[in-house]
Amino acid sequence: MDQNSQAVSKVTVPVILERKLRGEKITCLTACDYPTARLVDEAGIDMILVGDSLAQTVLGYDSTVPVTIEEMLHHLKAARRGIRRALLIADLPFGAYHVSDDQAVACSVRYLKEGGAEAVKLEGGEKRARLVRRLVEAGIPAMGHIGLTPQSIHTLGGYRVQGRTLEAAAELLADAEALEGAGAFAVVLEGIPRELAAVLTRRLRIPTIGIGAGPDCDGQVLVFHDLVGLSFQPRAKFVRSYADLEETLRQACAHFRNDVVEGCYPNDQESYHWPAALREEFEKEMTRPA
């Protein structure tokens, strides 16, 4: 694909909004390094999220809470280098927008200026509407995230499905409408009943991106490491693994170790050689009497 065709097909926020109007499904995957972002981008995925899930999938933390702004920025920069077409979105990590709106705007500006992000995502509904409006007024596209919000794991008491009662469903509807009213261009619906997600999708003018919210959302997002079977964690009900890289990579490493131990790697074809004349000269030099 040449540069001109890449430019024409570039996914932007207006393109995502148009998908909703046309009833076209939207695809999103996480990526947090150059090779993964490049593969996801070349596969034609619409949006790439540098999600705070990297705290667990890449950095080995127990939850998303510990990951820092600097750690997120490091991975954002790496992913940016691999992306040509997809819309690049960066998660605001826990602590990046909880002290003040000014703090959140400053972090988001860094994500756009230093990391190359084209939008940011933050968790929370009505209580984040003012911040979303502030970001949008600053020229920073914002995506909302409601339902099961992993950064609130201590408040929620675990990774539990949300919106199971009529009262809770009404609260999520109010959250979604507040985010839309504040100018969010899309909202992630995580861990909620399919029926509720369908209602929210019909009621909103902006796209809904589901993860554990059923098939009726405008789009779907998965964590890349879950998609390829490389998460080292029990698989959630909504995760469909399309590959088993954990076992493939483990076998590759074990195979390499065995070949080295047995002297099978590297072989002669995998080794560099002198030209024949130089080799003969060297051998003569080594056999010459001292």
pLDDT in tens, 124-156: 999 999 999 999 999 999 999 999 999 998 988
**223, 227, 231, 232 alpha-carbon torsion, rounded to 10°:** 150
Q: What is the reported pLDDT for 99?
A: 95
Q: Which residues of the chain have pLDDT under 50?
A: 1-8
* pLDDT per position as a tens digit, 43-90: 999 999 999 999 999 999 999 999 999 999 999 999 999 999 999 999
Q: What span, in angstroms and rounded, lies between the C-alpha atoms of 206 and 83?
A: 24
pTM of full prediction above 0.85: yes
By annotation, the residues acting in catalysis are 190
- N- to C-terminal Cα separation, the chain: 63
Distance of CA 154 to CAs 101, 159, 191, Å?
22, 10, 16
Domains belonging to the chain, first-starting first, are 3-243 (3.20.20.60), 248-287 (no CATH)
Write phi, then psi, for 192 (nearest 5 degrees): -130, 160
Closest CA to 219 of 96, 89, 56: 89
Residue 228: what residue type? V
What is the per-residue pLDDT for 286?
Answer: 84
146 CB-contact burial (10 Å; exposed 0-12 / middle 13-18 / buried 19+): buried
Which residue's entry shows tokens 């920069």? Answer: 77
Extract the tokens encoding 33. 């390094």
